[in-house]
Amino acid sequence: MVLARAAALYEIRAGKGLFVNQTQSFEPAPSGDVIKCDVVISEASAFYPFVNVPDYLVVMSQNAYDRFVEQTGRGTIFILDQDGVDSRPEQGYYEIPALRRAEEMGEKSSANMIMLGALIGISGLLGEDSVRQAIAMASPSKAGTRNGRAFTEGMSIGRARLAAEAREGSG
pTM of the model: 0.84
* Mean pLDDT, rounded, for 74-101: 96
For residue 1, the model assigns a pLDDT of 40
Q: Which residue would you say has higher pLDDT here, 150 or 8?
A: 150
CATH code for the domain in which residue 6 is found: 3.40.920.10
Domain count, the chain: 1
Measured in degrees and rounded to the nearest 5, phi and psi for residue 34 equal: -120, 125
Q: What confidence category does residue 106 fall into, taking pLDDT thresholds of 50, 70 and 90?
A: very high
User: If we measure between CA atoms, which residue out of 137, 123, 147, 112 comes closest to residue 56?
Assistant: 123
Reported as a single tens digit per residue, the pLDDT across 130-145 is 788 888 877 787 888 8
pLDDT beyond 60 at 5:
no
* Mean pLDDT, rounded, for 62-90: 95
Domain that holds residue 130: 2-170
